[in-house]
Amino acid sequence: MRQGHVEAEVIPVVDVPITFEGHARFNVANALAASAAAYALGLSIADIQMGLQTFHPTPGQNPGRTNLIDADGMKVLIDYGHNVPALEALSGLVGCIPARRRISVASAPGNRRDEDLFTLGTLLARMHDVVFIYETDARGRTPGDAARLLREGAESVPGTCRVEVIMEEQQAVERAFEEASEGDLLVLLIDDVDSAIERIRGAASGRLPPQRQTVRRHDARRPPGRQAADPAAGRQSLCAGASRGKRYSDRRWPYRRPGA
């Protein structure tokens, strides 16, 4: 932090959980911006340090945004990266997480330009070994058209990435879990985060969660009788599951250094 000629170090980047030890460069930028804004509003360096140290990329505190979870020997990264800039930013982090294979479930709304959907498909293929494409919201397109463009983009990339189209989101997620095995990284670029968390818990406990109605992140309406989730309660439930011996965790991972 700098004001005039006075400089003060706020915190080492490796101690800020949302940066994943600096590999999530987009969250390094977010942390810098948040720190500057907080300082301008009069918060002390100690307060800023505390905020940065205690904000974690978990489903409880920041659902659907770079949630990295261990599930029975696999790693699962949940994010809402549905456009080209978001996926470009995420690619650096995905590449630094050690994995035997990288398997993705991905989609994009139909109101993206044709060239953007095609480019998104190419990025998915370059980042992953297997890609399962679903369709989230046609938004004026013919059903299946957005998925087709994503697939064409992915299949245009030379290499060994395998691409499948499974139109329904939960079926695509289930197919990805069937495909994955110990040591793999699942990258779930999805809308229905709650169902994915239930599926991860099911994988950890050896059971499958019941199917339920999908609630999209972009749908502002909440089903009748459903209350807003308590972020703290969500985090406690994950930690409580781990303490009971279930094999999943949202703790920090060892990351592979670039070039290692």
Strand stretches in the chain, DSSP E: 2-3, 6-7, 67-71, 74-79, 102-106, 130-133, 162-165, 185-189, 248-249
Domain-embedded: residue 60: no
Asked whether residue 47 falls in the same domain as residue 72, the answer is no
Paired sense of beta strands 130-133 and 102-106, if any: parallel
Residue-number span of the structural domain to which 100 is assigned: 67-211+236-249
Can you spell out the DSSP letters for 184-243? -EEEEE-S-HHHHHHHHHHHHHT-PPPP-----TT-----TTPPPP-HHHHHHHHHHHHH
Query: What's the predicted TM-score (pTM) here?
Result: 0.78
Are both 198 and 74 inside the same structural domain? yes
Residue 21 lies in a domain: yes
Q: How far apart are CA 101 and CA 183, in angstroms?
A: 7
List b or e across 97-135, with b for residues whose CB sees 16 or more CB atoms inside 10 angstroms: bebeebbbbbbbbbebeeebbbbbbbbbbebbbbbbbbb
Q: 145 and 22, same structural domain?
A: no
Q: Is residue 216 part of a domain?
A: no
Q: Is residue 160 part of a domain?
A: yes
Identify whether residues 48 and 72 lie together within a single domain.
no
State whether 10 and 105 are in the same domain.
Answer: no
Determine, yes or no, domain membership for 168. Answer: yes
Same domain, 84 and 165: yes
Q: Could you give the CA distance from residue 212 to residue 70 in angstroms, rounded to a whole number?
A: 23
In a domain, 97, yes or no: yes
Instruction: Give the CATH number for residue 139.
Output: 3.90.190.20
Whole-number Å distance between alpha carbons of 196 and 188 = 8
Decide the pairing of beta strands 6-7 and 130-133: unpaired
Whether 117 is in a domain gets the answer yes
Unique residue bearing structure tokens 């990295």: 68
Alpha carbon distance 148, 169 (integer Å): 15
Per-residue pLDDT of the chain (260 residues; tens, 9 = 90+): 777 888 888 999 999 999 999 999 999 999 999 999 999 999 999 999 999 999 999 999 999 999 999 988 999 999 998 899 999 999 999 999 999 999 999 999 999 999 999 999 999 999 999 999 999 888 889 999 999 999 999 999 999 999 999 999 999 999 999 999 999 999 999 999 999 998 888 765 555 544 444 434 444 333 333 343 343 333 332 222 222 233 334 444 445 544 44
- 29 and 99 within one domain: no
Q: Number of folded domains in the chain?
A: 2
Domain assignment of residue 254, yes or no = no
